[in-house]
Structure 1
Amino acid sequence: MTTVLITGANRGIGLELVKEFLNEAGTTVIATCRNVSTKSELDTIAEKIDTKQVQLHIVPLDVSSDQSVADLATRLKDQTIDVLVNNAGVYLDKGKGLLDADFSKWVETFDINSVSPFRVIKELYPNLDKSENAKILTISSQMGAMSRPSSGSYAYCASKAAVNRAMIGLALDLKPRNIAVAVAHPGWVQTDMGGAQAEITPTQSVKGLYQVIKDLNMDNTGSFFKWNGEIHNW
């Protein structure tokens, strides 16, 4: 049985990842969301799955809260986690520039996009270490790539650049424990964050991300992937 934990799993890319992993027999998916009152689509999925083939557990998690993440770790004590997908994120300064920057939003953006993946990994490290072939994928963005000049949305771009750099170091540190770490640009996706004018659907993005996760190993740990499996320039 493979156990997958996905943060921000009640909508968008996270929700599609839940669906994709549940297509694989022998998989347990732990789907987390900040507000359990908004998990209605997850409830619908849970009602329809064949529980003899797969399992779905819906649990509350506020990735920005030390206590909430610690509570999750307590709840999952002794549970092996084979795949962790850090999907939860925010885009609070979309379209903002220098003169209308809101620095309280900078702090919130960095906490959720840059710090929280580490907050979750730190608490769930014992669970990941139990796996023979653990994998961690953090959903990032090409907007955090230093090779891709862009303007505006400074907080979002900087938060993604920060988590990219941090995950490089984490990949090196966890390599001796046989835990593979990578980040991925999911594409410009038609979600609440990406907007209706975006280039690809959540299903298209997740089909690619799923394969990225399946192909992640100790040979390509520390990589920055595009949703289609290609390597993204840092």
Structure 2
Amino acid sequence: MTILITGASRGIGAGLAAQYKAKGEEVFGTGRSPMADIQLDVTHPEDHSAMAAKLGDRALDLLVCNAGVYLDKGDSFDDGYGADVWAHSFATNVTGVFLSIQAMLPHLRRAKSPKIAIISSQMASSELAPGGSYIYRASKAAVLNLGRNIATDLKAEGIAVGIYHPGWVQTDMGGNSAAITVDEAVHGLVQRFEALSIGTTGCFETWDGRAHPF
């Protein structure tokens, strides 16, 4: 199986890459660092073209869109949430996901049972709205909507799309007081990706297999 994971330099992405490599899968992890398997800034269209070229004529079995930013944590309504933060957050968390899928679509079409996994968040939910973090919540809601619509359009081609809340994870983004470890999140997400099928395409699920409210 050939797998490509965006944002694989640290945290959940690095954990997923390590687990799949341990299973003997062919894994390409992307990151902005030159040390990454594939150097990719998801906000740069030219990087996506270079990523596609790097894969050559390979079939891609699983694309994990994991790269993301949370730039408005703790911002104040009165003087936070700058326009530049809105722009960069959406460029990374939404447009970057679309560009990754668009670039990898020819490779996914070569696979027997291709899958796309989009890492969103429980903060995407419009039913669970405790306030704050407006930019991050809005961007994750947008990528949830994006994923569900892409699932509709790609279903006829046999490409399954799942959207996932990875849990509140002990990463740089989640903080040390988060509820679960990277290993726990990764273990659950790998199971979710394995279970994803055309029958469940468009799902929004938690790392431990529960349907998440929209």
TM-score interval, normalised by the smaller of the two chains: over 0.9
1:69 and 2:69 matched:
no
1:85 and 2:64 matched:
yes
TM-score, normalised to structure 2's length? Answer: 0.97
Aligned to 1:19: 18
Aligned to 2:137: 157
> Equivalent pairs: percent with the same residue?
41
Aligned to 2:124: 144
Aligned to 1:98: 77
Aligned to 1:60: 39
SS of structure 1 residue aligned to 2:28: strand
SS of structure 2 residue aligned to 1:196: coil
TM-score, normalised to structure 1's length? Answer: 0.89
Please report the RMSD computed on the Cα atoms of aligned residues, expressed in angstroms. Answer: 1.0
Match for residue 29 of structure 2 among 28, 31, 39: 31
CA deviation string 1:51-92 (max 9, x = no partner): xxxxxxx11111110011111112223111000000000000
Aligned to 1:192: 172
Letter in 2 for 1:206: V
Letter in 1 for 2:29: A
1:207-222 correspondence to structure 2 within 5 Å? 207-222=187-202
- Deviation of residue 171 (structure 1)? 0.3
Letter in 2 for 1:131: A
Gaps of 5+ in 2: none
Q: Is the 8 A contact 1:33 1:59 kept in 2?
A: yes
Distance in 2 between residues matched to 1:232 and 1:21, nearest whole Å:
25
Q: Please identify runs of 4+ aligned residues in structure 1 that moved more than 2 A.
A: none
Distance in 1 between residues matched to 2:152 and 2:112, nearest whole Å:
17
SS of structure 2 residue aligned to 1:15: helix
Gaps of 5+ in 1: 40-57
Aligned to 1:50: none
Distance in 2 between residues matched to 1:212 and 1:105, nearest whole Å:
31
